[in-house]
Structure 1
């Protein structure tokens, strides 16, 4: 290579012209998912080493121009420059440089959502390298191209291929001794492994990354590597370790006085604190990021994050002040993708502020109108700032005018201002040729018109946004506009101006939205940790609104077709909740029809809707049944909260029984005649919402508890693992127990007695106290076939997988780690545990969705069935119930659900344990046979 060539190579290495991928391939989450995330990332890229040899100046300039355009978010312009450079290199017969530019070209196409040309560019790049003579330069470029190919594969839902490609990239980087390249490809591997659900391998891979980074001397590259490593840890859910690594990155950046590194570390620390739910700490980190920032664009990104957190904290005064400060910055923003998404992000926060202020105004009107006038009624919050605002002002009372003026004169809260922000975003997206950004901007502008009830304009904009999303094959955007279109059509139905075709169109739009969500199961949870915090806002309502539409009250009876569809939607919702709980697609089994599972069981699906409680019942070989109670969601939640409190030991029958009778009337009474006629023995509940935290065994018909008439089981859905009865010959139990106080948890003196009594009934291998470690448990499970695993120890069920755990002697074992331990044998023998028993765990106090943790343990454990407790109960009664349960379970013709029923009834019949507090917390999930 000539001296000129060497200098040019060093120059390009300095610029980082190649390696436009970030260390973390999915760290561009905000840019790809602004609607659901709203938390902005600064992507700290570690560039690959470039290998451009002697080239004409115009080719060099084109490559530089392309990089500058790419980094400023002008991807279509970057495509133009790089395509010209690639053509020029091709005309010169320079295959190596052509391959390098084509790799970058593929990244630009990906950012535009143009997958076909992206794939063609990367395939052509690889083909060129195959014909190139072996050399160090060729190997280096090949590593970069493989890294890019892996990114494209993962983004297109091909995690297996991406993993294989990144493994090859790692080997290739190792051949040329590029440690940073190895770190990059290992972290990419961790992302693919996470999508595939291989958590032990994820952790092992990240440990390799950490070791390699620790061996590097302190430098800007190490700081950036640790930054991306910390972001990766956040995405895989290891939040504490993420914080530790990011603090290390910050320390290096501060020592070396790297201003951009300091800002980026503070921003990432804020994002991790946000993911931990530590919102005040997140705001402090964001404030530090702003103070250290020298980039107006980065400062704006941090302020947008800060605004979102202020809104979540309901600090409305500071949020409004910050919103006005942010709004003034948009006039000076450069035209690029980041600024467009900043507009979208800002519009979403403004909508929340606007809706809050509308409610405040409405509340003020409600409290004063009766004193001022009798002929003016409070408008709905969504119509306060509607299209007829100006004319309404002149026709109403002075009080009303003052209230409206208060809302409308706040610049940041004016809906016209929000619409203007998005309109500019649409124009800029068109200029850049960025159809994803254009789709987002059009769709959210349609949402503004939806809120102001300008239905025709809203529908037109939504359809345009949907068409764009589909044209660039972006189901992650399309589902938003399919849902929005469904809402607009449903609003037409609610206004009484729709015919049957409109109802069918609305149903079709909702079903398409759910279909798009299902196609994204891995992508949604794997690329966007913050999705967990908006699941109830941007995913769950789609399912509930579709069920409401399918079961829409009216003159016509609900058809069997609609009932079947509604049941499928309910099951899909419960599956989506579990995906969200784990931040991964956790179930892949197909649902089993109830009559193929158990002809003597009925499955009851309640679902809580805003205006009613719906129930669907499936009985073997019979049409689905359906009934509803016209009661608001607020009233239902009030009753459920009172019912849960009535289970305290100090609560009387007089307080408790009317509440459980009410639940019985809602859920079971309308179907009790059919249950008796069908000789149903087991009731299986697929519970919804807060119902999950209540024991169905305690439902009361006025004379008897439900458990006195039926066996009772719960199921996250009928997607259970290979439903089949427990093999009784022989039943061997692995028992783990903790009786001593550990980690601020009190001693459980009854555990030793419980274990002794279990050993007296059935053969058992016992791990007690010091012997009860996660490693020892995994060793025993791997060495022998235990159909039953019984864990008598402290534990907690929570709506957060990280806070759902059991307590071993050495440490807390969270639900994901527990699954790794319990499935150690299954990986070798493919024989799942038949029954997992957790006899001393409880649901997290004050967590309305904590019962998700029980279902999470049931799913993650891989066990066919899980017997768990909703709260920690009396040691003596627990031991008695467990012994009776195992005695019954040993009988050949007794199902697990019936064994539990017999054990609960045995306690119920003893006067000292008759109170439901003692026998109701035990619930059976999964396979009840």
Structure 2
């Protein structure tokens, strides 16, 4: 097998078919393939598969083969012109910008098992990204859990992970300190740019005015904390990598010429060499575990696309025992002032014990959660969970305890994250 290469696969969706152009350094000219999936059929498949991707249960409970199998013909030619471990650089078109193509089936598993994958809105955007890459940048900035009215209880854990991995290179702003003015100052003081800017916050998309889509940082007097696309495009944000650990941060609107108006293009315009975003609203706990895997790989010196692949494969293989261990470590690491985070971790721990059929351990965690509520009114959900668990303990023939089940095998958990820009 040859050394790993980079394979460019650029798509063009037409009314009757999708045209794929494959470019490889050792080919005299691009190879063109025609895939019998036209615009109408593609839009139907994508609408049916991903319309419910988000906080609802429909997408998570649906068999992913419903969409991975019919869409797999899009990447079949890519696998013919590449070897395992080659980096696949995908340039989607039209509705394909909404598809996690790295999750499509190769016949022996998802593409990400076979190859590292990166994306770009166009080939010219990738050249722009690579021209801005300066690998000697060192500082790491983390902005986490900025909204008291919409807490992301596991975001503090992400900040702790980056601080542990990157040490004194890391500056973390959490809760009320994570303002737009603080971000502007932090970036302005680091004139050579930063290695990583990690934003763990809520994102939102405005159908009526995509330029007003954005991220929610902490409000302060005179500033509502809305970091909009329009505002980002007026800022200077030189970074090797910007990670948006936020809901639907990769969603963009398509205008004439397939120009993307969204957070991704705004961040690249502002100075990012690469951006990691999510295609749909993500699960808070699994995302925190995923980010730990991703940044651990980066800290070990792994290129970005390979680090993302490593994290996605690891998350797919994370079992219930791994989640229990993660929650226990995180509970031990929480400070006294992180009561909300501790309670969220206890709930996750209890839920995973219950799912594994370890009802005594689940009841113990639920009761700890109940005891930690202090003088607050009883939580109806928690009371129901305790009653349900006690009833399960009385069952005369319980199922075997199973901590080996892969908790995040469904693409809902691992597939939304995409790397856009420089894969190196």
| TM score, norm. by length of structure 1 | 0.32
1:854 positional shift: 4.0
Map 1:220-235 to 2 at 5 A: none
Does the Cα contact within 8 Å between 2:112 and 2:313 map onto a contact in 1? yes
For residues 6-42 of structure 1, what are the alpha-carbon distances to aligned partners after superposition, in whole Å with 9 as ceiling and x for unaligned? xxxxxxxxxxxxxxxxxxxxxxxxxxxxxxxxxxxxx
Secondary structure at 1:734 match in 2: strand
How far 1:709 sits from its partner (Å)?
0.7
Q: Tell whether the 8 Å contact from 2:146 to 2:177 is kept in structure 1 after alignment.
A: no
Contact between 1:839 and 1:878, CA under 8 Å: does it hold in 2? yes
Q: Secondary structure at the match of 2:282?
A: coil
Structure 2 distance, partners of 1:875, 1:652, is: 14
Q: Which residues in structure 2 correspond to 1:672-691 (within 5 Å)?
A: 672-676=79-83, 681-691=86-96
5 Å matches for 1:844-855?
852-855=261-264
Aligned with residue 875 of structure 1, among 284, 287, 294: 284
Whole-Å separation in 1 of the counterparts to 2:59 and 2:43:
19
**Is the 2:244–2:276 Cα contact (8 Å) retained in structure 1?**
yes
Structure 1: gaps (5+ residues): 1-597, 824-831
Provide the rounded CA distance (Å) in 1 between the counterparts of 2:252 and 2:77: 32
Q: Which residues of 2 match residues 485-496 of structure 1 at below 5 A? A: none
Task: Judge conservation of contact 1:686–1:714 (CA < 8 Å) in 2.
Answer: yes
| Correspondence for 1:757 among 157, 161, 169 | 161
The answer to whether 1:614 aligns with 2:19 is yes
1:756 partner SS: helix
Gap change, CA 1:682 and 1:854, over 3 Å in 2:
farther
1:733 pairs with 2:140: yes
> In 2, are the aligned partners of 1:793 and 1:839 still within 8 Å (CA)?
yes
Counterpart contact for 1:739–1:752, Cα < 8 Å: no
Counterpart for residue 813 of structure 1: 227
Any idea what the Cα deviations from partners look like across 1:596-645, whole Å, max 9, x if unmatched? xx971111111111122111111122121111133432122111212324
Deviation at 1:756, TM superposition (A): 1.2
The structure with the larger Rg is: 1
Deviation at 1:738, TM superposition (A): 2.5
Number of the residue aligned with 2:385: none
> 1:836 aligned to 2:242?
yes
For 1:652 and 1:805, how far apart are their aligned partners in 2?
26
After TM superposition, list the pairs within 5 Å mapping 1:552-701 onto structure 2. 600-622=5-27, 623-645=29-51, 649-651=57-59, 655-665=63-73, 667-676=74-83, 681-701=86-106
Q: Secondary structure at the match of 2:123?
A: coil
* Cα pair 1:761 1:883 within 8 Å, conserved: no
Which residue does 2:368 correspond to in 1? none
1:773 aligns with 2:179: yes
Partners of 1:797 and 1:804 within 8 A in 2: yes
- What is the deviation of 1:816? 2.7
**Cα distance in 2, alignment partners of residues 845 and 726 from structure 1:** 24
1:683 to 1:646, Cα distance in 2 relative to 1, 3 A? farther
Cα displacement string for residues 34-69 of structure 1 (whole angstroms, at most 9, x for unaligned residues): xxxxxxxxxxxxxxxxxxxxxxxxxxxxxxxxxxxx
Counterpart of 2:360? none
Aligned to 1:748: 152
Match of 2:272 among 846, 850, 863: 863
Distance verdict in 2 for CA 1:686–1:879, change over 3 Å? same
CA–CA distance in structure 2, aligned partners of residues 762 and 868 of structure 1 = 21
Whether the 8 Å CA contact 2:250–2:277 is kept in 1: the answer is no
Indicate the SS of the match to 2:40. Answer: helix
Alpha carbons 2:199, 2:245 under 8 Å: kept = yes
How far is 1:781 from its partner? 0.9
Q: Deviations over 1:801-854 (max 9, x none)?
A: 42221111122111131233343xxxxxxxx31111111131599977797414
What is the CA-CA distance between 1:712 and the residue it aligns to?
A: 1.0
Q: Indicate conservation of the 8 Å contact 1:777/1:821, yes or no.
A: no
1:723 aligns with 2:130: yes
Q: 1:879 to 1:806 in 2, by over 3 A?
A: same
Kindly indicate whether residue 217 of structure 2 is the aligned counterpart of residue 790 of structure 1. no
The answer on whether the counterparts of 1:797 and 1:852 sit within 8 Å (CA) in structure 2 is no
The answer to whether the 8 A contact 2:53-2:280 is kept is no
Give, in angstroms, the shift of residue 913 of structure 1. 0.9
> 1:708 and 2:113 equivalent?
yes
Aligned equivalents of 1:899, 1:845: Cα separation in 2: 22
Structure 2 matches for 1:459-608, cutoff 5 A? Answer: 600-608=5-13
Is the Cα contact below 8 Å between 1:646 and 1:655 reproduced in 2? no
CA contact (8 A) 1:896 1:928 kept: yes
Aligned mate of 1:885, from 264, 284, 294? 294
After superposition, what is the alpha-carbon deviation per residue over 1:565-608, rounded to whole angstroms, capped at 9, x for unaligned? xxxxxxxxxxxxxxxxxxxxxxxxxxxxxxxxx97111111111
SS of 1:611's equivalent in the other structure is coil
Q: CA deviation at 1:887?
A: 1.1
Q: Write the distance in 1 (CA, Å) between the matches of 2:305 and 2:251.
A: 27
Alpha carbons 2:142, 2:198 under 8 Å: kept: yes
Q: What secondary structure is seen at the aligned counterpart in 1 of 2:81?
A: helix
Q: Using the alignment, how far apart are the partners of 2:116 and 2:422 within structure 1? A: 13
Contact 2:250 2:262 in 1 (8 A): no
Contact 1:843 1:851 survives alignment (8 Å):
no
In structure 2, the partner of 1:912 is 407
Specify the SS of the correspondent of 1:820.
coil
8 Å Cα contact 1:807/1:813 also seen in 2? yes
Question: Which residue is equivalent to 2:419?
Answer: 924
Q: Using the alignment, how far apart are the partners of 2:287 and 2:60 within structure 1?
A: 22
**Matching of residues 437-448 of structure 1 within 5 Å:** none
| 844 and 884 in structure 1: CA distance in 2 versus 1, 3 angstrom threshold | closer
Give how far 1:647 is off: 5.0
CA contact (8 A) 2:205 2:213 kept: yes
* Partner SS for 1:914: coil
Provide the secondary structure at the position in 1 that maps to 2:187: helix
**1:606 is paired with a residue of what secondary structure?**
strand
What's the C-alpha RMSD, in Å, of the aligned pairs? 2.8
Closer/same/farther in 2, CA of residues 903 and 696 from structure 1, 3 Å limit: same
> Residues 906 and 914 (structure 1 numbering): CA distance in 2 closer, same or farther, change over 3 Å?
same
- Contact preservation (8 Å) 2:24, 2:30: yes
List per-residue Cα deviations over 1:700-729 (Å, max 9, x = no partner).
123301111111111112223362797666
More strand by share: 2
Please give the alpha-carbon distance, in whole angstroms, between the structure 2 residues aligned to 1:856 and 1:726: 16
